[in-house]
Each structure stands twice: as C-alpha cells, then as structure tokens.
Amino acid sequence: MSRPPYGRDGQWVRIVSTGGSTDPEDAVDLGAVAVAHWFGAEGAWFVTVAGSGTGIHPGECLDFAPEITEVEATELRSWLGRSTPPSS
C-alpha cells in the first residue's frame, strides 16, 4: 500500500481513537504520545508508545500535530533510548 500524504517516519503523534474498537486492550494507549513509522505491508502506522511497546494503528486514529508536554517528551525519549540496540 502506498504511503499517505501526511505524516513522516519518526514523527511524534498522539493516539486519539481506537478506530471503533470496544476491546479494552485497544483503549490502553488512547491519548498516549508515540513515535510513528509507516508500515506499508499493513497500510498503517507502526507506533511505539512508552511503557507499552509497539502496535499498528491506522492514520485516522492518530493526531499528527499533537501538543506534547515536557513530561511526555521526556518519558518517550527515555523509553526509546532504552529500546534502541547499541551500535556496533
């Protein structure tokens, strides 16, 4: 699937919708700040959230221009720093 005209790899986003799902697990990250990467094979965004890991979300469930607090930014940077493998 081709990449949508919005968003870019590595962009910070906020999860704003569960896409109509009523599964409680889908609501866990609602409102969370995340970093997104386009996943063309699924036609969705591969989104990493501090504390809960990575999942796949359609673009309509994400805010690509979120207001992010310093606390949220620090938490996400810390999470991403821990999950990045050491360079060789």
- What confidence score (pLDDT) does residue 66 get? 96
Rounded distance, CA 80 to CA 73, Å?
11
Q: Which amino acid is at 48?
A: T
Domains of the chain: 11-81 (2.30.30)
Query: pLDDT per position in the chain (88 positions), as tens?
Result: 788 889 999 999 999 998 888 888 888 999 999 999 999 888 899 999 998 889 888 999 999 999 999 999 999 999 988 865 554 4
- What confidence score (pLDDT) does residue 2 get? 82
